[in-house]
């Protein structure tokens, strides 16, 4: 599943690319007509033609980067990447709510993951430094995962 905003933006970019491609063809034919009219041996394309073709290339690049299969997602929820989305889920209670969110099954507010408490060490990196479950406000900050655990 792709973010609907990206889908909308891609559709608008495709429309702009089609219009600019037609404009580039028009400008090229105009330059070629002028060259023919003046019996010139070289066609002098206008700076506007160069700008339009550069814009088309930029749009193509943006469309390539936002191809749905090129976007890292975990069921379409995160633009941070699959692993960031997975890590961000570690604070959910077993009812699926993030810690601090409303959860009727937890008694009003989600108590979070009972298997991992915020601030606890949950592992080590390859240098033996702690990996710590950060609080919800910092769970998208990789540095927050590499701090000293609470005592
Ligand atoms: Zn819950």
Q: Summarize pLDDT for 18-66 with one digit per residue, the tens.
A: 999 999 999 999 999 999 999 999 999 999 999 999 999 999 999 988 8
The Å distance, Cα 99 to ligand 1 centre, comes to: 8
The Å distance, Cα 112 to ligand 1 centre, comes to: 7
Helices (H), the chain: 4-37, 47-65, 82-88
CB contact at 8 A, 48 and 26: no
Q: Summarize pLDDT for 90-128 with one digit per residue, the tens.
A: 989 999 999 889 999 999 999 999 999 889 999 998 899
Report how far residue 121's alpha carbon sits from residue 146's, in angstroms, rounded to the nearest whole number.
9
The Å distance, Cα 92 to ligand 1 centre, comes to: 8
Residue list, CB under 5 A from ion ligand 1: 93, 95, 97, 103, 105-106, 110
Given the structure tokens 């009727």, which residue do they identify? Answer: 104
Q: Summarize pLDDT for 64-87 with one digit per residue, the tens.
A: 888 876 665 555 555 566 777 788
The Å distance, Cα 104 to ligand 1 centre, comes to: 7
Query: What pLDDT band is residue 1 in, cutting at 50, 70 and 90?
Result: very low
Domain ranges, ordered by start, for the chain: 4-70, 82-145
Residue 102 pairs in a beta bridge with 109
Strand 121-124 relative to strand 130-132: parallel, antiparallel, unpaired?
Answer: antiparallel
CB contact at 8 A, 59 and 72: no
Length of the chain: 151
């Amino acid at each position: 599943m792709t973010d609907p905003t990206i889908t909308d933006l891609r559709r608008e970019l495709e429309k702009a690319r089609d219009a600019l491609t037609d404009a580039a063809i028009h400008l090229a034919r105009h330059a070629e007509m002028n060259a023919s009219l003046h019996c010139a041996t070289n066609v002098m394309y206008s700076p506007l033609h160069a700008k339009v073709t550069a814009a088309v290339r930029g749009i193509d690049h943006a469309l390539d980067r936002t191809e749905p299969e090129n976007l890292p997602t975990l069921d379409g929820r995160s633009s941070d990447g699959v692993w960031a989305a997975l890590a961000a889920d570690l604070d959910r209670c077993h009812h699926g709510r993030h810690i601090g969110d409303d959860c009727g099954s937890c008694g009003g507010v989600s108590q979070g993951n009972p298997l991992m408490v915020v601030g606890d060490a949950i592992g080590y990196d390859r240098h033996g430094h702690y990996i710590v479950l950060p609080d919800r406000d910092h769970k998208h900050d990789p540095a927050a995962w590499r701090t000293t655990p609470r005592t």
